[in-house]
Amino acid sequence: MRGFIALRPYGFAIWELIQAEFNKRFKATGHSNAYFPLLIPESLLVKEAEHVEGFAPEVAWVTEGGSEKLTERLAIRPTSEAIIGPLYSQWIQSHRDLPVLINQWCNVMRWEKATRPFLRTREFLWQEGHTAHATQREAAEEAQRMLEIYREVAEDVLALAVIIGRKSESERFAGAQATYAIEALMPDGKALQAGTSHEFGQNFAQAYDIKFTDVDEQVKHAWTTSWGVSWRLIGGLIMAHGDDRGLVLPPALAPHQVVIVPILKKDDESVLPAARRLADVLAPVARVKLDDRPDQSAAWKFNEWEMRGVPLRVEIGPRDVAAASVTIARRDTLEKSTVPLASLASALPAQLEQIQRSLLARARDYLAAHTIEVSERGAFVDALKRQAGLVLAPWCERAECEADIKAETGAVTRVLAGKAAAGERCAYCGGPAKVKAFFARSY
């Protein structure tokens, strides 16, 4: 079915590692996981006007249950604000009940017309955090805190270079007062939105009646946020680091960080036992896979594990055993080196760390090299049409101007990057510039 993917064990293991990295950070910042219903009655979805306007065109509707027509259509959640809001309304009565800091890992559905594996699928796996606070300041801090966690995981775990900032009015989440995002740049010059964090102000609290009695005994609406990342991150990984041989996985997310490939020769009985001992020795310091399948050649296995992106390959043959050394090959640089068997375990963590850092450095170099600052219309339009990368330009911040830019170039703002200098003009329409903004075509 178009727009649906099955995530096989190797891919799902990457997703589980991504989940673990986020869960660790969500927990450290006081959040708990929970689970909310898949289906949202239409009467709840419509309560926040902008929200339903934004999501209704993409909703998959359940209209029959068993042999009966339902009296009300039920939306498969495209996001869960509309089912969580009414529950928070029941759960929150007093300032003592706040903040509510909950995250959910689940599947959601958006009936997209154009789909693309991982990047734009009709069903996708994601996490959505939903929080409620007593004050605007706390909600604003929460939205920034989670955005910072997204940046940290993107850079330190996925080795993606990202820009970070607020979205324009046209690009923000339906119903949000402010949406913040991290965006990565892909090798084809398109941007990938990789995580978003929203401040809702009191919009959703008003729509869903989330109220609390404050310390001053006044009844007030809560301030809410939501924030999410999806398996689109896997798509970002594949595109950002992959090469002609296949995947290149950062060690932090590699299901197998090291693969040991024994090079088996006829009449040799030393290699396989040595490879097994090595796997045992390395197991405490890294996620190690010993590929001892008898039916495939070593060369076939080299290809296979390169395609699957394993960061380090250890080759061990009769001569290595005799010399008490092994050959190691880095997936990212394809460099080979010889390492004494006895020191491999102690050298491994630093090796993996270096690959991790090197991937991020490469991604940062790429991002820097493909970020172009322009202030003049010809250069602005040309860079966007050429899909040259991120185009930073002074901008008037008018939705009509953004729509015109999109019509001419296919690009929109990705994030805003701070105020324009006094007197600067919008690079596209020539009106007074309010902000600097990053523009790009995107997935």
Give the footprint of a second copy on this chain (CB under 8 A).
Answer: 1, 4-9, 11-13, 15-16, 32-39, 41, 57-67, 73-74, 76, 83, 87, 91, 96, 102, 106-107, 109, 111, 113, 122-123, 125, 295
Nearest approach in angstroms of CB 215 to a second copy is 12
Instruction: CB nearer to a second copy: give 86 or 242.
Output: 86
Nearest approach in angstroms of CB 51 to a second copy is 16
Nearest approach in angstroms of CB 195 to a second copy is 20
Sequence-distant (≥ 6) Cβ neighbours of residue 233 within 8 angstroms: 18, 154, 158, 194, 195
Sequence-distant (≥ 6) Cβ neighbours of residue 254 within 8 angstroms: 14, 17, 287, 309, 310, 311
| DSSP strands (E only) in 110-171 | 123-133, 162-166
Nearest approach in angstroms of CB 442 to a second copy is 21
The rounded distance, in Å, linking the Cα atoms of 161 and 144 is 18
Instruction: CB nearer to a second copy: give 21 or 315.
Output: 21
Nearest approach in angstroms of CB 30 to a second copy is 11
Q: How far is CA 396 from CA 168, 337, 406, 417, 427, in A?
A: 11, 54, 15, 13, 8
Whether 105 and 53 have beta carbons less than 8 Å apart is answered as no
Whether 291 and 301 have beta carbons less than 8 Å apart is answered as yes
Nearest to 436 by CA among 417, 415, 413: 417
Instruction: CB nearer to a second copy: give 133 or 441.
Output: 133
Instruction: CB nearer to a second copy: give 13 or 379.
Output: 13
207 sits in which H/E element: helix 203-208
Instruction: CB nearer to a second copy: give 66 or 378.
Output: 66
Nearest approach in angstroms of CB 71 to a second copy is 12
Q: How far is CA 50 from CA 5, 15, 53, in A?
A: 30, 32, 5
Instruction: CB nearer to a second copy: give 19 or 371.
Output: 19
DSSP conformation class of 362: H
Instruction: CB nearer to a second copy: give 16 or 404.
Output: 16
The rounded distance, in Å, linking the Cα atoms of 307 and 140 is 43
Nearest approach in angstroms of CB 212 to a second copy is 15
